[in-house]
């Protein structure tokens, strides 16, 4: 019997053995999971993602801008990825026409722009206070490292709302 805690020595020794055995399995299991998750992210195919990137110009945008409100309804830079999300769709829900590049979108109208080549595209856009919108189209992430980086970037975008460049 142990004098300090009223537990028999056999019971205390058994508990210590169980704790050491659990620790021996816990560390390798955590290490294996730490390797398995990035390996899956790097080698699993990128499918099941919609190819459309939808952005809407909300009702009242033009009136708010004319009233002096610095409305930022669309991001200044939009990132797309060939083969995954390579079609930009804009919907004009405002009550006035909006220009996007050479296209005039009437109220209630949608405009879909597919991209077939990676690159950086600059467009005139009346929905922006600056009058400009940049679209960056990235190449398809063909290698495991590029797929891992793509998933990390898009995962952080989804979790935080931040757009990593």
Percent of the chain clearing pLDDT 90 (strictly above): 16
d(CA 77, CA 159): 19
Q: What b/e sequence results for 67-96 when a residue is b if at least 16 CB atoms lie within 10 Å of its CB, and e otherwise? A: eeeebebbeeebbbbbebbbebebbbbbee
Task: Give yes or no: residues 130 and 64 share one domain.
Answer: yes
- Whole-model pTM: value is 0.63
Structure token pair of residue 117: 């080549």
Structure token pair of residue 76: 């200044």
pLDDT at 89 over 60: yes
The verdict on residue 165 lying in a domain is: no
Residue that wins the pLDDT comparison between 53 and 19: 53
The verdict on residue 154 lying in a domain is: yes
Residue that wins the pLDDT comparison between 90 and 29: 90
The verdict on residue 25 lying in a domain is: yes
Task: Give yes or no: residues 76 and 23 share one domain.
Answer: no
Q: Tell me, what CATH number does 68's domain have? A: 2.60.40.420
pLDDT at 111 over 70: yes
Range of the domain at 64: 52-160
Query: For the segment 7-31, what is each residue's pLDDT rounded down to a tens digit?
Result: 455 555 555 565 667 667 777 777 7
Residue that wins the pLDDT comparison between 163 and 110: 110
Residue that wins the pLDDT comparison between 150 and 50: 150
Query: For the segment 63-78, what is each residue's pLDDT rounded down to a tens digit?
Result: 888 888 877 778 888 8
Residue 15: per-residue pLDDT: 55
Task: Give yes or no: residues 133 and 63 share one domain.
Answer: yes
Work out how many domains the chain is built from and give that number: 2
Task: Give yes or no: residues 75 and 34 share one domain.
Answer: no
Task: Give yes or no: residues 27 and 76 share one domain.
Answer: no
């Amino acid at each position: 019997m142990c004098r300090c805690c009223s537990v028999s020595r056999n019971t205390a020794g058994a508990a210590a053995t169980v704790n050491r055995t659990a620790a021996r399995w816990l560390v390798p299991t955590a290490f294996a999971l730490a390797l398995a998750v990035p390996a899956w992210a790097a080698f699993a195919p990128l499918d099941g993602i919609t190819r459309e990137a939808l952005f809407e110009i909300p009702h009242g945008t033009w009136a708010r801008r004319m009233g002096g409100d610095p409305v930022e309804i669309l991001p200044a830079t939009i990132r797309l990825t060939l083969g995954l999300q390579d079609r930009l769709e804009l919907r004009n829900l405002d009550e006035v026409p909006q220009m996007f590049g050479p296209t005039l979108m009437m109220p209630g109208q949608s405009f879909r722009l597919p991209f077939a080549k990676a690159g950086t595209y600059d467009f005139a856009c009346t929905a922006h206070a600056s009058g400009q919108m940049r679209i960056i189209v990235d190449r398809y992430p063909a290698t495991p490292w590029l797929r891992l980086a793509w998933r990390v970037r898009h995962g952080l975008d989804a979790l935080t709302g931040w757009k990593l460049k």
